[in-house]
Amino acid sequence: MATNEELFARAQRVIPGGVNSPVRAFRAVGGTPRFIQRGQGAYIWDAEGQKYVDYIGSWGPMILGHGHPAVVDAVQKALLDGFSFGAPTEREIELAEAILALVPGCEMVRLVSSGTEAGMSALRLARGATGRAKFIKFEGCYHGHADPLLVKAGSGLATFGFPTSAGVPEDVVKHTLVLPYNDIPALEAAFAEHGRELACVMIEPIAGNMNFVRASLPFMTLLRELCTQHGAMLVFDEVMSGFRVALGGAHSLFQQWIPGFKADVFVFGKVIGGGMPLAAFGASKEVMSQLAPLGPVYQAGTLSGNPVATACGLATLKEIAKPGFYEALGARTTALVRGLEAVAKDVGVPLVGDSLGGMFGFFFEQELPQNYATVMATDKERFNRFFHGMLQRGVYLAPALYEAGFVSAAHTQADIDHTLEAARESLLALKN
């Protein structure tokens, strides 16, 4: 049996950094990444047979836990019919109908294979529908690794961004404005200067790539008003929060909190694929009619609407739509976060957390951060030591302080209790 270290050394000889997605390399926290062999329910096992309570859940999709019987059965049956056809199937229609039934205001969707693909397609659609080039994104929000979205903030409140990645020409991001999250003055300044030129504003309503940070209600209310006033589209990127924080995603929550609220373009992923490569973007029928073959905005994908992925997604959506599912999931997640706060207070370590549905985050601070800059100013060293303490005690958290965590329906109270005991021991070790 190969060890994690042996597998990592082997991987680094054939895969850049030894991983196929950067955060998996443990660079932020140090140490050797765990090579996972299998998962079942709320648990995963690494190459050395170590069992962990899993709070990553493949970064969100595994809302039912690993290997849910209904999902496994649906996938096995779909496999017998064929892996891929490159032609329409009835299951694509069924999944589209299921998504639309759960998201009021979204009238049509196009299925794709990844969140990155959905995000870049939504941006192209907004630009094509408005005939404008410029758009706003927010620092700390991640919308995939398409070139115009790989930007970081410049030196000002309302400024154009510059590339965060080599290989992205400055000309490609010259139309991208990057603003601080939850910053009302910066938002007002950007619209005052560029409002007539903006195709859209793209936002994670619940940011999961700077840990867990909510858009404030005043900020989101103003954002909707400014987009309407200036004819820009509001793009809700719910790749992470969609069907995670609520059955209708964060959009359904903001509709409850803000009278008359509605996004213009929607981006989904993760949960709607149930762990398979599947994502989607959608809007009104009028806007979606701009897509080929109906309109001039081109988008295509050989594996889009894959029959195995759609079977997995459909089975997942069926399970999470059952009565009481989100009440139980939310209660379990809240118990975890409140428990972490209580344990930290008892030990004498500052810790504050937040959650919605099955998504959560925590910080070694007295107050919840509201934007990327405050998240990055939190105690990184303490988090790294805590992460390894939890890992040693069989709890698998995200290996970076700026990533959200996820609870599944498979997590039990016993799992929460074990996690909190591991947290107590790990926090006590921090003080020694």
The answer to whether 351 and 379 have CB atoms below 8 angstroms apart is no
Point out the catalytic residue in the list 46, 54, 183, 237: 237
Q: Catalytic annotation on 270?
A: yes
- Determine, yes or no, domain membership for 214: yes
Could you give the CA distance from residue 179 to residue 192 in angstroms, rounded to a whole number? 14
Let me know if residue 361 belongs to a domain: no
Q: Is residue 157 part of a domain?
A: yes
265: in domain: yes
- In degrees, to the nearest 5, what angle opens at C-alpha 322 toward C-alphas 98 and 280? 30
User: What is the pLDDT at residue 159?
Assistant: 45
Which residues are 214's β-sheet partners? 206
Q: Among the options 52, 55, 183, 270, which is catalytic?
A: 270
Residue 176 lies in a domain: yes
> Is 72 inside a domain boundary?
no
Measured on CA atoms in the order 6, 12, 15, 20, is the torsion positive or negative? positive
Specify the residue for token string 């926090």. Answer: 427
| β strands within 123-172, DSSP E | 134-138, 151-152, 159-160, 162-163
Q: Residue 185 sits in which domain range? A: 93-303
- Look at the alpha carbons of 318, 321, 325, 330 in this order and tell me if their dihedral is positive or negative: positive
Q: What is the pLDDT of residue 161?
A: 59
The DSSP H or E segment spanning 197 is: none
Q: For the domain that residue 294 is a member of, what is the CATH number?
A: 3.40.640.10
Name the active-site residue from 43, 52, 55, 142: 142
Task: Starting at the earlier edge strand, list the strands of the sheet with 51-54.
Answer: 36-40, 43-46, 51-54, 395-396
Q: What is the pLDDT along the chain (432 residues), one digit of tens a residue?
A: 899 999 999 999 999 999 999 999 999 999 999 999 999 999 999 999 999 999 999 999 999 999 999 999 999 999 999 999 999 999 999 999 999 999 988 999 999 999 999 999 999 999 999 999 999 999 999 999 999 998 875 434 334 556 778 888 888 889 999 999 999 999 999 999 999 999 999 999 999 999 999 999 999 999 999 999 999 999 999 999 999 999 999 999 999 999 999 999 999 999 999 999 999 999 999 999 999 999 999 999 999 999 999 999 999 999 999 999 999 999 999 999 999 999 999 999 999 999 999 999 999 999 999 999 999 899 999 999 999 999 999 999 999 998 999 999 999 999 999 999 999 999 999 887
Q: N- to C-terminal Cα distance for the chain?
A: 35
d(CA 54, CA 358): 13
Sign of the CA dihedral 251, 182, 135, 241?
negative
Does residue 408 fall inside a structural domain?
no
38 forms beta bridges with 45
Tell me, yes or no, if 142 is annotated catalytic: yes
301 contacts 113 by C-beta, under 8 angstroms: yes
Looking up tokens 């999931």 gives 329
The total domain count for the chain is 1
Residue 237 bears catalytic tag = yes
Residue 326: inside a domain, yes or no? no
Q: Do residues 141 and 334 make contact, with C-beta atoms less than 8 angstroms apart?
A: no
The answer to pTM > 0.85 is yes
Cis peptide before 61 (omega within 30 of 0): no
Alpha-helix runs per DSSP H in 131-213: 184-194
DSSP state of 188: H
User: Is the distance from CB of 409 to CB of 325 less than 8 angstroms?
Assistant: yes
